[in-house]
Structure 1
């Protein structure tokens, strides 16, 4: 983001011009001084070279004659007239000053003069007989050192005495003059530069800043809501183009504002209607929630009301089957049991579908062996298949892992639905199951595909699309001939979807459902009678290293115990038939029990008697089992082992019982083996006495 300049343009532009103009002037002045100093130094060096060279030649000539005294004095005097020459000396071969413009230096060694600092140069000049002009160490003076041939001695053929002509020329006056000249030129330049900057600022002020200020004022006015503002600048430059664009923008904003105001009025009307609609929806949602709650309560109550008499029918039939009956009597009892179990399957289908539809069904994850699941389903359906002389068979590909993690209960439910359907609609032949590993995924996950093939009546093409819809069957006549609620395949589809898979069917050359994109049918003659149901699901592979050895689950066979148990049991049940059923079942298992008709009677009985186990019904008059359990758990008395024995079979009902402090839960109709196991678990807990 560009930073805001601290000053407006009408002040910024002249300041910038002054700053850069001054900077340019100072730079040019420094450059001018430097160049002038260089020129002054160079011209002075040339002057000294000429002057010192000519003087040394004259002195060479004079020293070749016998009368030299007046001549050298005259030459030194003339050169001394130059005010810039500070020191002028003629030094003999022994570095003694022979002649000087300073009388006090005559006949003195150079060690007492400025020439001492240039002793090495004197030696070099004598050796090379070549003069030099050099800059002094403080760079304020020029030093000229030139050789002179002194007079020839009587015994010498040529001169062996070389003297030195030494000048010290001061540059201060020359530099001061150069500085003054450069300053005068720089002042003239800066005056012209200032005039130019002022003219440039005036030009910008007239052509830029004033018009920009006008645009800014118009923009601020527009921002404050004055949509009638216009700039109307004249000319053809870019600012005029901006002005025209601004005026056009202001006109459009004015038009759009009018349109927006009209739209806002419409929006307010729509919002008022929307608010009214939302209020109606809120009322509808409340009603829907009430209906949903009423539906759940209705299903719970219906389950309870149906299961209560079914408990008497199925349990009595099961107790009767344990008697010594004739073959005809056993057949009658078995018919009663099968009819009761069929009715129980229908009720369970309805409850399962209700849980799936409301989104309350949650999958669990346990280790299981797929082969054992298939075998257990075959065992459950073996009687049904044997009655119709149908052969059950299965095959599992070698690449299918033995141990997997998943919801074995729901997988068993899907297999039960599909295999029982296959048996139901097959008059003769076989039902076969094939299991293969479809594809491996990340995190030890694998997609398995199970196919159930039968040799039954098949499904017509126009009925396939309705197959997985709830409360529908392939043909209305089928429900009359074969029975069923039409929920089994819909429940199976929902469970398969929850397990991350898909379900589809092949029948009479047609396909129903939604097979995976990469799936190809391998049925060679797909116009043969019968159907093949396929479904996939995702499971986790359990590696051999992850398996934990443990005891196999115990099976509790139903046995008649002749010895009466000392376990003190209280049965809380208001239904007389169920009281009779439970008491007979307990007697069959070797137990006895007292009876309480409601929760209040339970509280009264535990005041005078210590019970090891209470079989607690949920729904009872005057006080239900939930309220009675809460009071018992809050008391300081010895706590009994409480088992919910209820016709409320929903998962939520089970959780309610456990949350209030019940130890176990058994739904009606009672499975005697589960009942016996629950009582054995209760007997293992040693209760303290009063």
Structure 2
């Protein structure tokens, strides 16, 4: 029975599943029943009048029409009929029973909420405007006495209208609040979901960062180990070739030694290229600015590269503008690397013709500063325009072909130029050659600042007579490196001892009191850093000069090493000029050259106690 009643009075069709339609259906049915009951219940207390009967009939017809439209599936029409009926009822009540002071004004207040609930915010705004306009009209009529002031006959009638107004207002307001609550809950769920996603993404980012850092640490450890394992034997090979070259070899032997030295330098260059790119990518590459003889540096590179050019029957032409400042503050090794890479690249891809280097400078724009231009031009095969943007990428080669190299030279060159605050521009035409233009802003220096900055290479360094017997202690656990270094220093006239671990190095210092110590960093018993700290605490330890010598991949720990008490820092593979200059700089040692360059060597290397 109950199920049949539900089928008869319940909402059917497509709107049966619509919560708003169902609530409107209940509201209309409730209002119709309440109005009928209220009309009948007030008959004994109020006389029947035409306005009362007319108002009730109009409202019943409007609400009944809305109910029929709703059951037919016309929700928006039913909503409009419901709102129109409510407005008509409110207007009739206000016009019949005292204007805005009548209970009908309560219906004007409730209508915007109903419109928002049923038809949305636009309909609510329009309904509110209509209700306000209607109330304004009644207010004006009352103020101009154009509306009869008539009260309802009984309080029961007023109560009846108030109940209807509460019913009309309660359901929409309750539904709107319910929707707001659901929306808020949905927003909270969405916020929690987003927070969960953020936590997940953050965790993923943290894990990815940790993995990247772990990979970088592994790469750094690998590079450091590779550097140590490769540089140490390379140091022995290159230093031994220098020693052999000084022992008056035959022409054939000299050629063999030259091939050994050239191959060793080539291998060292490949290793340095890989390590330089790794340091640049890790942001560990820094500039070591020092006063330098720019013209001498460039000429040295040109003479070195001229040999390579002549091997290919090429002409290497160097032009230097007459007004180029000689002394500048620059990272000379990096500048040399830039020029070597660009000249080497030009020679490599030029089959015949000429390679040119032009050096010029512009001064006066800023005090103490000049802009130096290094233009390298070749008559080689050239490059297509679409390829120019890729030549500075790692492992790219300027031209395809059976050329040797890592493909890192131009990458390193560009990074070094940028690090020095300069620019690098390339121009090229296929079949006509290429032109690389480097511009560097360099601070000018005084000649006095470059005192002792260079030592002439290619000479057998021998101590000048009339000096003390300089004692040098070598603390090195690699037998070959220690042997080569000992021979180099002994041949020059130094008194030399060797200790193969840190503890023995400390003992040798206490027994022998050397003037200078070459200290390897990676030692057994006590590391080079620890041994240096302990030596500094001993009697006389504050006076001895100690230089670190290492095959590490980079100098990122240089500051830490220097703070540990070292006076200098040198990398393997070491060359004679590096070793002898370092000692001269700190002890004031004077050298005489075996080839008559003694005066030049003395002027450049000696005469200043360290």
Contact 1:428 1:456 in 2 (8 A): yes
Matched residue SS, 1:271: helix
Normalised TM-score (structure 2): 0.62
Distance 1:431 1:642, change over 3 A: same
Name the stretch that deviates more: 394-403 or 316-325: 394-403
Partner of 1:262: 186
Secondary structure at 2:477's aligned position in 1? coil
Give, in whole Å, the separation in 2 of the partners of 1:487 and 1:311: 23
The question of 1:559 aligning with 2:456 is answered: no
Unaligned runs of 5+ in 1: 1-205, 216-229, 241-247, 510-527, 686-690
Greater C-alpha radius of gyration? 1
Instruction: Encode CA deviations 1:215-257: one digit per residue, 9 max, x unaligned.
Output: 9xxxxxxxxxxxxxx99896439999xxxxxxx9999998666
Q: Aligned Cα RMSD in Å?
A: 4.1
Query: Alpha carbons of 1:645 and 1:371: their partners in 2 closer, same or farther (altered >3 Å)?
Result: closer
**2:280 alignment partner in structure 1:** 356
Tell me if structure 2 keeps the 8 A contact 1:649–1:668. no
Please give the secondary structure, in 1, of the residue aligned with 2:461.
Answer: coil
Instruction: Tell me the alpha carbon deviations over residues 347-403 of structure 1, each in whole angstroms, 9 at most, x when there is no partner.
Output: 211121111111122335556676554323212212212333322224466897777
Aligned to 1:506: 427
State the SS of the aligned residue for 2:285: coil
**Which residue in 1 is equivalent to 2:262?**
338
Which residue in 2 is equivalent to 1:497? Answer: 418
- Counterpart of 1:661 (choices 562, 565, 571) is 565
**What is the number of equivalent residue pairs in this alignment?**
433
1:644 is matched with which residue: 539, 544, 548?
548
Secondary structure at the aligned position of 1:477 is classed as coil
Q: Which residue in the other structure is 2:407 paired with?
A: 486
CA contact (8 A) 1:422 1:454 kept: yes
Matched residues in 2 for 1:444 and 1:618: separation? 39
CA contact (8 A) 1:649 1:667 kept: no
- C-alpha deviation, 1:408, in angstroms: 4.5
Task: Name the SS for the 1:236 alignment partner.
Answer: helix
Change (3 A) 1:437 1:329: closer
Contact 1:565 1:590 in 2 (8 A): no
8 Å contact from structure 2 (residues 319, 358) kept in 1: yes
Secondary structure at 1:651 match in 2: coil
Identify if the C-alpha distance between structure 1 residues 661 and 405 changes in structure 2 by more than 3 Å, giving closer, same or farther. Answer: closer
Provide the secondary structure at the position in 2 that maps to 1:593. strand
Equivalent residue, structure 2, for 1:5: none
- Map of 1:625 onto structure 2: 528
d(CA) in 2 for partners of 1:393, 1:605: 53
Distance 1:322 1:357, change over 3 A: same
Counterpart of 2:462 in 1: which secondary structure?
Answer: coil
Task: Tell me by how many angstroms 1:338 deviates.
Answer: 0.9
Q: Deviations over 1:263-290 (max 9, x none)?
A: 3311211211221221232233223222
- Displacement of 1:618 in angstroms is 0.9
Measure, in 2, the Cα distance between the counterparts of 1:679 and 1:260. Answer: 78
Counterpart-to-counterpart distance in 2, 1:251 and 1:613: 92
- 1:604 and 1:615 map into 2 onto residues whose CA distance is 15
- Shift of the 258–313 alpha-carbon distance from structure 1 to 2, 3 Å rule, reads same
Deviations 1:617-651 (A, max 9, x none): 11122322112112222445543221212222522
Secondary structure at the aligned position of 2:401 is classed as helix
Note the C-alpha offset of 1:260: 4.5
- Change over 3 Å in CA distance of 1:446–1:668 after alignment to 2: closer
Cα distance in structure 2, aligned partners of 1:444 and 1:609 = 48
Instruction: Kindly indicate whether the alpha-carbon contact (under 8 Å) linking 2:535 and 2:541 is maintained by their aligned counterparts in 1.
Output: no
Q: How far, CA to CA, are the matches of 1:448 and 1:316 in structure 2?
A: 38
* Equivalent position SS for 2:256: helix
Q: Which has the higher helix share?
A: 2
Cα distance change on mapping 1:571 and 1:402 into 2, 3 Å = closer
CA shift, 1:556, in A, is 3.9
Distance 1:259 1:439 in 2: 71
TM-score (norm 1): 0.55
1:316 maps onto 2:240 in alignment: yes
Q: Supply the distance in 2 between the matched residues of 1:263 and 1:567 (Cα, whole angstroms).
A: 82
Counterpart secondary structure, 1:603: helix
Query: Which shifted more, 314-323 or 432-441?
Result: 432-441
Look up the match of 2:334. 410
Alpha-carbon separation, structure 2, partners of 1:641 and 1:399: 41
Aligned equivalents of 2:423 and 2:483: distance in 1? 47
